[in-house]
Amino acid sequence: MTKTKQNIMLTPGPTPLPPEVLAALSRPILHHRTEAFGEMFQFVLDAMQRAYMTKNRVLMASASGTGAMESAVVNLLSPGDEALVYSTGAFGDRFAAILKAYGLSPVVISEEWGHAAKAEKISDALKRHPKTKVVFLQHTDTSTGVLNDIKDLAAAVHANSQAVIVVDAVSSLAAEEFRMDEWGVDVTLTASQKGLMNAPGLAFAAISERAWTLVQSARLPKFYFDWKTYDRSLKARETPYTPAVAMVAAQAEALKLIEKIGLEGMWKRTAELADYTRTWARKNGLAIFAKDPAHILTGVRLPEGVDGSAMLAEILREEGISIADGQLSLKGKIVRIAHMGYISRADLDAGFVALEKRLAEVQAA
Amino acid sequence: MTKTKQNIMLTPGPTPLPPEVLAALSRPILHHRTEAFGEMFQFVLDAMQRAYMTKNRVLMASASGTGAMESAVVNLLSPGDEALVYSTGAFGDRFAAILKAYGLSPVVISEEWGHAAKAEKISDALKRHPKTKVVFLQHTDTSTGVLNDIKDLAAAVHANSQAVIVVDAVSSLAAEEFRMDEWGVDVTLTASQKGLMNAPGLAFAAISERAWTLVQSARLPKFYFDWKTYDRSLKARETPYTPAVAMVAAQAEALKLIEKIGLEGMWKRTAELADYTRTWARKNGLAIFAKDPAHILTGVRLPEGVDGSAMLAEILREEGISIADGQLSLKGKIVRIAHMGYISRADLDAGFVALEKRLAEVQAA
């Protein structure tokens, strides 16, 4: 247990929730086959279209972001299909793992962690693999805080192939500039607990008509994540299986807040927190990990010899502040400070003070 | 919108929530890789073992009950395997649909809706299909309110085969007598929003060692629902993917309430509400639909000529009381009144008054 009652989260999902969203979570439960739920659910889907900047259909399932990623794989592909994954972090690798779990052999290209995907490399890969049916990209990856230029990458796909483009925007949607239709993205995946300022538990997919033609012929097996079933329920403003109704109520409140600030206002807010964090890091002689950084998260390199994992555990225990450790080979070597959702400048200040104190102690020792 | 602010739910999931559970939903979000979350999650898993009456491992995913059902199919079976489904309602049929979605050809035996499964029929089917690897049963089915004698059915399976027994206890767990280990059940599935008195969004599976040997060789494709991944995360008291943390906090509170009342106390409570409802129905000349009724739900037949769907819509609109309609061929012909979870006698009374009023109007017309 922490010594303090404080609970400050600088983590890239779950993120802290606005009080209006917390309040919605604790409203008496609605039954999911009622007009009142239907109205709320329809608002969520409509507002999600606006957040995605798309005119395409939006589907919702009760699951984590990984469930959304799996749904794209099983609804777009058939056994033997060719797929291309361009991985720029742990979540890009996850696309490849899901494809392999379903018996496919994706072509995987990747960049060193922290470096953005390059359009030329996609063009080359598509020329070598002209039968590629689906290209899997990530907008941002919270394992490193990298940003990929989806507009540029999507243009490279369209210039070289008919492949459908799937983008993982789990950590970026409503927090970092993303224009689904304008940029020519076919499927965009996201989840409730990051830029969408809700608790974890809901997964969303926006799906273009071009992608829907693949959906109609895709033969990988599926049931819970079968998009056609969700699509059929939309007419009745329902989901096929009992949805996480409390989470839907909370998502409606969070989307109202997002629309009040406006999408561009949200993007600007994230960018300001990123600037603020990077100014602090530079002042403290700490390098930013990502060569091509996103606004949603700053990965900060720790000085040699600092045990980041122990330091973050102490900060959580003593100050009640959650800051994310590095993942896999970066464990203990970077700290990841998130900027999406309801994270505030005051939250960041508290985190900075806690980090500075421990870093000074290490340097004095 | 309803004309009233009242929101009384007599529906078999989602069910109304105790105030302590609603309050837990709106507590500030915890990060899922912290000691505080780990402690809470471990309590939930331990209390779920007690609710299942099992010493077996319990896994949790963020999904609906259908997700739990799919997880049992994909984690126990391989292409070409033989499986037996004994269906006694809409949710039994769903097991068959999931198996078919994954390319299997299950043997399906069934009973007329409202009638319980019979041990002799299982014995016969297993003799005809000696290679059956998994038998899928339902404890109760909310489409009809039927109760199956799992103790008796499981004994028939064990007497005739080595097949692993999967039981859908989504609507019964913690509400109706169920003794997993004593009755020889291998896998028991449930979800948060019924007897467990939480909002919808969490799915649970308890899995015996005998079933786990199948898990280790099962080759149906899976990723999000791969039990081995969840099992590996248990050591760190974590889930592999960001869980619905608010729902876990709420589940911990609900399980504390269940343990305070005691499992037998919960079963008794459900039985009393069932008796109360059936006494009311008889007094009003209304027949109970299920020939072999469970305690968790009473399906009440409406008199000929009554349009149940319109009546229930009016009750929801005018009184703010949600009562479930019949499903499929029973739509408009029965009403389904639930007794599990936090439903109270006062909630039932409100529903009875609303139903009596409309039935009297119809009879006077």
Distance from CA of B8 to the nearest CA of A (A): 9
Chain A interface includes B207 (CB < 8 A): no
Give A201's pLDDT tier (boundaries 50, 70, 90).
very high
ipTM of the complex: 0.96
pLDDT at A121 (0 to 100): 98
Summarize pLDDT for B84-98 with one digit per residue, the tens.
999 999 999 999 999
Query: Is B25 close to A222, i.e. CB distance below 8 A?
Result: no
- Say how far apart CA A150 and CA A140 lie, in whole Å: 10
Backbone phi, psi, residue B207, to 5°? -135, 120
- Backbone φ and ψ for B58, nearest 5 degrees, come out as -120, 130
Judged by CB atoms closer than 8 Å, whether chains meet at B244 and A103 is answered as: no
Under DSSP, the state recorded for B150 is H
Q: How far off is chain B from A30, nearest CA to CA, in Å?
A: 8
Of B14, B31, B316, the CB nearest to A14: B31
Give the pLDDT of residue A29: 86
Write down all domains in chain B, each with its CATH number in brackets: 8-15+262-364 (3.90.1150.10), 19-259 (3.40.640.10)
Q: Check if A253 contacts B (Cβ < 8 Å).
A: no
Q: How many CB atoms lie within 10 A of CB A81?
A: 20
> Using one digit for the tens of pLDDT, what is the confidence trace for A214-250?
999 999 999 999 999 999 999 999 999 999 999 999 9
User: Which of B36, B223, B244 shows the shortest C-beta gap to A199?
Assistant: B244
Q: Cα(first)–Cα(last) distance of chain B, in Å?
A: 27
Identify all chain A residues contacting B226, using CB atoms and an 8 Å cutoff: 101
Smallest CA–CA distance from A67 into chain B, residue: B224
At residue A6, the pLDDT reads 75
- Say if A98 is an interface residue toward chain B (CB within 8 Å): yes
What is residue A28's predicted lDDT score, i.e. its pLDDT? 87
Confidence band of B4 (pLDDT split at 50, 70, 90)? low
Shortest distance, CA A271 to any CA of chain B (angstroms): 23
Q: Do A200 and B32 touch (CB under 8 A)?
A: yes
- Cβ B14–A242 below 8 Å, yes or no? yes
Q: Name which of A9, A98, A317 is nearest B29 (Cβ-Cβ).
A: A9
pLDDT tens per residue, range B121-177: 999 999 999 999 999 999 999 999 999 999 999 999 999 999 999 999 999 999 999
Q: How far is A152 from chain B (nearest CA, A)?
A: 30
Q: Alpha helices of A53-128 — where are they, by DSSP H?
A: 65-76, 90-101, 119-128
Three-state SS string over A300-345 comes to EECCCCCCHHHHHHHHHHHHCEECEECCHHHCCCEEEEECCCCCCH
Residue A126, pLDDT score = 98
Sheet holding A57-62, edge to edge: A57-62, A202-207, A187-191, A164-168, A132-138, A82-87, A107-110
For B72, residues 6+ apart whose C-beta sits below 8 A from its C-beta are: B134, B136, B166, B187, B189, B205
DSSP assignment of A36-49, as one string?
A: HHHHHHHHHHHHHH
Q: What is the pLDDT of residues B321-340, one digit of tens each?
A: 999 999 999 999 999 999 99
Is the distance from CB of A359 to CB of A284 less than 8 angstroms?
yes
- Chain A hits for B62, CB-CB cut-off 8 Å, are 62-64, 67, 200-201, 244
User: Between chains, do A28 and B7 touch, taking CB under 8 Å as contact?
Assistant: yes
Of A7, A31, A322, the CB nearest to B14: A31
Interface of B with A in 281-320 (CB under 8 A): 316-317
CB B34 within 8 A of CB A316: yes
**Chain B: residue whose CA lies nearest to A322:** B31
| Chain A residue numbers touching B98 (CB-CB < 8 A) | 223
pLDDT at A1: 43
The answer to whether A236 contacts chain B (CB < 8 Å) is: no
Q: Tell me: pLDDT of B1 over 50.
A: no
Smallest CA–CA distance, residue A127 to chain B, in Å, is 30
Distances (CA, A) of B95 to A261, A354, B107, B121, B125: 45, 52, 11, 18, 17
Report the pLDDT averaged over residues A128-139: 98
At B180-227, the pLDDT tens digits run 999 999 999 999 999 999 999 999 999 999 999 999 999 999 999 999
- Cis before A14? omega within 30: yes
Q: How confident is the model at residue B365 (pLDDT cuts 50, 70, 90)?
A: confident
Which pLDDT band holds residue A7 (cuts at 50, 70, 90)?
A: confident
Contact A28 B11 (CB under 8 A): no
Q: Identify the pLDDT of residue B363.
A: 80
pLDDT at A251 over 90: yes
CB pairs under 8 A between A and B: 177
